[in-house]
Amino acid sequence: MKKELRSPVSQRPHTAEDVNGKSGIGSEVSIELNGEKIKVALGKSILDICRENKIHIPTLCYHEDLCIAGNCRLCLVEIEGMKNLQTACSFPVTSPVKIKTFSDKVRKARKHIIDLLLSEHYGECYSCVRNNNCELQTLAREHGIDSYEFGHVCEPRFEIDNSSAAVIRDMDKCILCRRCVRTCIDLQEVGVLEAINKGYETKISTFLDLPLSDVICINCGQCINRCPTGALHANDPSDEVWKAIEDPRKHVVLQTAPSPRASIGEEFGLSPGHSMTGQLNTAARRIGFNKVFDTNFSADLTIMEEGTELLNRLKKALVDKDENVKLPQFTSCSPGWVKFIEHFYPEKLDYLSTAKSPQQMFGAVLKTFYAEESGIDPADIVTVALMPCAAKKFECNRPEMNSSGFKDVDYGLTTREMAKMIREAGLVLPELPKSGFDDPFGEATGSGLIFGSTGGVMEAALRTVYELVTGRPVPFDGLNIDVCRGMKGIKEASVKLENCKKEFSFLEGIDLKFIVAHGTANAKVVMDMLTKGELSGYHFVEIMACPGGCIGGGGQPIPTSESIRKLRAKAIYDEEGSLPVRKSHENPKIKYIYEKYFSDGPCGKLSHKLLHTGYYKRGKFIK
Amino acid sequence: MNNLFMKKDRKGPVLFSEYKPGSALLKAAGMSREDILFEIKDSGLKGRGGAGFPASVKWMLTASADSDRKFIVCNADEGEPGTFKDRVLLTEYPELVIEGMIIAGYTIGAKEGIIYLRAEYSYIKEFLENKIEEYRKNNLLGKNIASKEGVEFDIKIRLGSGAYVCGEETALIESLEGYRGEPRNKPPFPVNTGYLGCPTVVNNVETLAAVPHIINNGGEWLHKFGTDKSTGSKLFSVSGDCRYPGVYELPFGISIKDLLEISGAENTKAVQIGGASGLCFPESEFGRKLSFEDISTGGSVMIFDKSRDMLKVLKNFMEFFVEESCGQCTPCRIGNVRLLEGVKMIEKNEYTPEYIEKLKELCGTMKIASKCGLGQSSPNPFLSILENFKDEIFGKHLNLNYDEKGIKKSGITAAAHC
């Protein structure tokens, strides 16, 4: 993945290819690492070599998702014969060097660097959102820092920017590692954050130093996941949620998305990849949520709406020869992606499905259908969404998301904030008994569950669309559409539609071509293909703003890395395989709601009012 | 006004000696690339920007790098405080610089040359462009240079934007590419991965200007001037408390004392050599020699007479570094601020000797842990001025406010200055 990154030359990972020409690739070199003789592949970085040899090198600006910066200088090592210390992260081994990773010089330098960082780092650990999960704090502990050797700032120098519904910037805690800058420009290709000024005045800033709400931030929150300190964190509404829970007049319902359950265990010390679905339900009830619903239900609803919309578009294009119909249809579940396209490709909004995201659909259903069925005044229903996402906070506050007359979703909680509430309530999540979801939306399908991983929406949609069109299940072993799975940035494949049902005869013999992309840098590649006309003949595109899809969302536990994301995805796919119903259209509750409530079917009049939405042509300049 | 400023009187053994424009180019056209490299190597020419890296090694590494596109960059971002020799070369001897670039380009196989001109020298840009145009008209730039089939080279000028750090070669390249001027990680070095990822030679103006003379006279000739390891001459930008400030071309190995005499300095207390990032020498060391083996320098010589307050001199330098650090790496960005604070503490008599020692240790880390030469050399004035002028500074600034344990009489330690 690193190789694909767009980044300044200075920050690209340097390999032997850069240093010695291509001839060296594949050969080995003997080096001495702390006195031990070992053989390593030519061109490998000292940091990688040390990690393979179980030597811990402290790092701060280094992040395995990002290109090399080499600016914190903590990973310094001593190389015999060199006057200066070298950064392990950026130094490729191309000759038989002798490396010392903890010599006197090295230890002293690292300690000095931590001392210097602390001298400029405002605030105290116990009043910080990242207390106990802060990389600077950990480093200070590892290096036995017990005093402020070079003083300590006592007055804040920056105003906290809490203008954004999703991301809060507290620049007094910033240590200028620039992971956020690299995340924003290299990983996501949004480019909202950049270092400005020089010397002591250097700081991370937005365009014209505007508040984050007034720039083209897509709220993906990937910067939060990579910030080593508390300089970036999500806008936390848990106080309001507690208040609603305490209020006896309020009926507080929680919907939980698929990804948090695959990752929340990490907040309680479990290794990545443990699904906590049942325990999380119990915890939510004990905290005081009146009902706990599964967002997978509305994911199934999304599939019905989005899938039907796709079939409608195909029909208009193929049968009615309507030239105004835009294909391929792009998914609209990821609010980061939606804001990205609104800013960067406002002229392409017609390609976007009008279906609301599962979070918003559920909110709308709760304040209408559910309110009616259970006889509760929708004004008294408080809908809370547990999401792996920072952008969902922005999404639920979009002014148009109130088609029922009430705000669809009142509060969006991230996985981290939910974990905090659980801890506040004195619950130890992994030790809780399991429990199921509440009715009337109790059952959901595996299709909804896999929404959490990149390719999941596509896989779920294909299962339903294929079967609606042909009357047969998708021709993949065990319904597992493997071409949709995995962490490749952009995946594409096709399914041939044969022996279609009579009403879909216009699709007979068509190769349904689709693309799955995750991370907005990859979205940009796909959109540029669309602009160049290279996507004609494609029908459906799934895009998730975050690398790995929702399991790598900006609201997920910190840290994140590709290996962690893979484990979370595996947890989701494993759980999915064991579910009794795995196709959205076979969900009995979905059938029920279309019979009872949205009686004119998917994309009908009522569903259009409640379950679909519109978009803004935001562009890159915000007034 | 000192007449050394006037070109007609400017004399020196190498750069300021007689030169017939175009002569070296025509001679080089008749030489093979290997022959030119041999002469440059033979001459022992070292980088004149201050680091003293052998020019021939840079050239050889770039020449042997496998790439269709290579660059010669002339570093004219003369930003070191107290340096103004490149301006003289560019305005009075532009032919030397242009021809040095062409010869370098021919030797390493580069077709493109860039002069990175500091923003403050933008007034020279048009003059240089006219010069370059003359060379083009005379078929000495462009295609088939000097009627030599396939030899192609052209020069364009790019302006800096005023950051000191852009004189560092990799920051300069970042700046050329349109990014923030910040140093890169090395390795890879520009000779392999430079401007636009292509092999690039970045040479100081003065280094390039020496090339035509070496070609005309042969590598061996340069050994007539200077010392064994520092062949040739150096331009010194002399400023401060002296009667004849200006640019002098003098052979390497000249002592500080002789230089002071030539420039008419009297009552000299201290000489800062190498600009803000250089070292400050007291009278007892005026016998030392300016050469790569003793005091390596880019040529800035600042003279302070006995009326000067050395702590103020130091404060001025540290203020410069606090502002001019690129802000990228921790030791330089924050370290310089802590050093400046230390200077201010001394100024206000609010220091403890222990804390000053701690800062000196920090200097040791900055020198070996910073990303580029800026942070690696910015502790130089702090260390050398506090060491060489300790009697003056600490004699004047007694710390009566602290007891021997560093406890302020009000009960607060000096280190916890918040």
The answer to whether the beta carbons of residues A365 and A356 sit under 8 Å apart is no
Q: Could you give the CA distance from residue A133 to residue A222 in angstroms, rounded to a whole number?
A: 16
Q: Could you give the CA distance from residue A569 to residue A74 in angstroms, rounded to a whole number?
A: 32
Given CB atoms, is A10 within the 8 Å cutoff of chain B?
Answer: yes
Provide the shortest C-alpha distance from residue B188 to chain A (in Å): 5
Nearest to A71 among B163, B197, B371 (CB): B371
> Residue A571's closest CA among A237, A205, A272, A240?
A272
B73/B138 same-domain check: yes
CATH architecture of the domain with residue range A247-297+359-431: 3-Layer(aba) Sandwich (3.40)
B327 in a structural domain: yes
B181 in a structural domain: yes
B213/B122 same-domain check: yes
B67 in a structural domain: yes
- Dig out the tokens for A307 from the structure: 């899938």
CB distance A112–B180 less than 8 Å?
no
CB distance A151–B417 less than 8 Å?
yes
**Neighbour-count burial for A63-77, b at 16+ CB within 10 Å, e otherwise:** bbbbbbbbbbbbbbb
B409 in a structural domain: no
Identify all chain B residues contacting A186, using CB atoms and an 8 Å cutoff: none
Average pLDDT over residues B369-389: 97
Query: Residue B23: which CATH number?
Result: 3.40.50.11540
Share of residues in chain A with pLDDT > 90 (%) = 90
B259/B337 same-domain check: no
B265/B147 same-domain check: no
Provide the shortest C-alpha distance from residue A157 to chain B (in Å): 14
> Residue A338's closest CA among A9, A615, A41, A552?
A615
Where along chain A do the CATH 3.30.70.20 domains lie?
A: 114-234
> Residue B81's closest CA among B301, B261, B339?
B301
Amino acid at the residue B221: W
Where along chain A do the CATH 3.40.50.1780 domains lie?
A: 247-297+359-431
| DSSP symbol at A234 | E
pLDDT at residue B216 greater than cutoff 50:
yes
Residue A75: closest C-alpha in chain B: B369
How far from the centroid of its chain's Cα atoms is residue A207's Cα? 24
For A100-148, write each residue's pLDDT tens digit: 999 999 999 999 999 999 999 998 899 999 999 999 999 999 999 999 9
Amino acid at the residue A322: D
pLDDT at residue A37 greater than cutoff 70:
yes
Q: CB within 8 A of A413, min separation 6: which ones?
A: A237, A238, A241, A384, A385, A386, A387, A421, A555
CB distance B65–A152 less than 8 Å?
no
Least confident of A429-438, A580-589, B22-31: A580-589
Identify all chain B residues contacting A66, using CB atoms and an 8 Å cutoff: none
Q: Could you give the CA distance from residue B181 to residue B326 in angstroms, rounded to a whole number?
A: 7
Average pLDDT over residues A279-300: 96
Determine which of B53, B169, B170, B185 to mutate to test the interface with A (most A C-beta atoms within 10 Å): B185
Give the number of domains in chain B: 3
Q: Could you give the CA distance from residue B36 to residue B375 in angstroms, rounded to a whole number?
A: 36
CATH of the domain spanning A305-356+445-560+572-611, picked from 3.90.950.20, 3.30.565.10, 3.30.420.40, 3.40.950.10: 3.40.950.10
Q: How much is the pLDDT for B408? A: 64
Query: Residue B295: which CATH number?
Result: 3.10.20.600
Q: Could you tell me the pLDDT band of residue B418, with boundaries at 50, 70 and 90?
A: very low
Residue A7: what are its φ and ψ, rounded to 5°?
A: -160, 160
Angle at A132 between CA A130 and CA A133, to 5 degrees: 55
Determine which of A73, A86, A97 to mutate to test the interface with B (most B C-beta atoms within 10 Å): A73
Q: Could you tell me the pLDDT band of residue B51, with boundaries at 50, 70 and 90?
A: confident
Q: How much is the pLDDT for A27? A: 84
**Neighbour-count burial for A182-197, b at 16+ CB within 10 Å, e otherwise:** bbbbbbbbbebbebbe
B263/B348 same-domain check: no
B249/B187 same-domain check: no
Residue B66: closest C-alpha in chain A: A21
Residue A148: closest C-alpha in chain B: B416
Q: Could you give the CA distance from residue B330 to residue B369 in angstroms, rounded to a whole number?
A: 9
Residue B77: what are its φ and ψ, rounded to 5°?
A: -95, 40
The answer to whether the beta carbons of residues B311 and B276 sit under 8 Å apart is no
Residue B61: closest C-alpha in chain A: A20
B250/B377 same-domain check: no
CB distance A198–B341 less than 8 Å?
no
Where along chain A do the CATH 3.40.950.10 domains lie?
A: 305-356+445-560+572-611
B299/B173 same-domain check: no
B416 in a structural domain: no
Strands of A209-289 (E only): list them: 232-234, 251-256
Nearest to B331 among A90, A113, A153 (CB): A113
CB distance B66–A202 less than 8 Å?
no
Average pLDDT over residues A556-570: 95
The answer to whether the beta carbons of residues A453 and A550 sit under 8 Å apart is yes
Q: How much is the pLDDT for B399? A: 73
What residues make up the domain containing B188? 3-222
> Residue B202's closest CA among B151, B166, B162?
B166
CB distance A73–B163 less than 8 Å?
no
Domain boundary among B305, B325, B347: B305
B316/B259 same-domain check: no
Where along chain A do the CATH 3.10.20.740 domains lie?
A: 2-102
> Residue B331's closest CA among B300, B308, B362, B290?
B362
Q: CB within 8 A of B418, min separation 6: which ones?
A: A151, A152, A153, A154
For A353-375, write each residue's pLDDT tens digit: 999 999 999 999 999 999 999 99
Strands B154-159 and A540-544: unpaired
Provide the CATH topology of domain A114-234: Alpha-Beta Plaits (3.30.70)
Q: What ipTM was predicted for this assembly?
A: 0.93
Q: How much is the pLDDT for A444? A: 76
CB distance B330–A14 less than 8 Å?
no
Cis peptide before B183 (omega within 30 of 0): no
Provide the shortest C-alpha distance from residue B406 to chain A (in Å): 13
- Dig out the tokens for B46 from the structure: 């070292």
Residue B325: what are its φ and ψ, rounded to 5°?
A: -55, 145
Given CB atoms, is A308 within the 8 Å cutoff of chain B?
Answer: no
Least confident of A218-227, A254-263, A580-589: A580-589
B70/B217 same-domain check: yes
Identify all chain B residues contacting A20, using CB atoms and an 8 Å cutoff: 192
Q: How much is the pLDDT for B2? A: 43
Provide the shortest C-alpha distance from residue A150 to chain B (in Å): 6
B418 in a structural domain: no
B403 in a structural domain: no
Residue B377: closest C-alpha in chain A: A84
Identify all chain A residues contacting B196, using CB atoms and an 8 Å cutoff: 9
Angle at A367 between CA A361 and CA A369, to 5 degrees: 80
B87/B10 same-domain check: yes
pTM summary value = 0.93
> Residue B183's closest CA among A87, A117, A120, A114?
A87
For B34-45, write each residue's pLDDT tens digit: 999 999 999 999
**Neighbour-count burial for B302-318, b at 16+ CB within 10 Å, e otherwise:** bbbeeebebbebbbebb
- Does an H or E element contain B347, and which? helix B330-347
Q: How much is the pLDDT for B113? A: 98
Provide the shortest C-alpha distance from residue B248 to chain A (in Å): 32
Identify all chain B residues contacting A150, using CB atoms and an 8 Å cutoff: 338, 358, 362, 415
B199/B259 same-domain check: no
B412 in a structural domain: no
Cis peptide before B188 (omega within 30 of 0): yes
Which residues of A are identified as catalytic?
306, 309, 333, 353, 392, 395, 400, 550
Q: CB within 8 A of A96, min separation 6: which ones?
A: A29, A30, A31, A32
The answer to whether the beta carbons of residues A390 and A554 sit under 8 Å apart is yes
Q: Could you give the CA distance from residue A380 to residue A383 in angstroms, rounded to a whole number?
A: 10
Residue A69: what are its φ and ψ, rounded to 5°?
A: -115, -45
The answer to whether the beta carbons of residues A569 and A551 sit under 8 Å apart is yes
Residue B354: closest C-alpha in chain A: A149
CB distance B365–A201 less than 8 Å?
no
A2-102 belongs to CATH 3.10.20.740: yes
Query: Residue B321: which CATH number?
Result: 1.20.1440.230
Domain boundary among B251, B272, B305: B305
Provide the shortest C-alpha distance from residue B194 to chain A (in Å): 9
Nearest to B331 among A83, A90, A116 (CB): A116
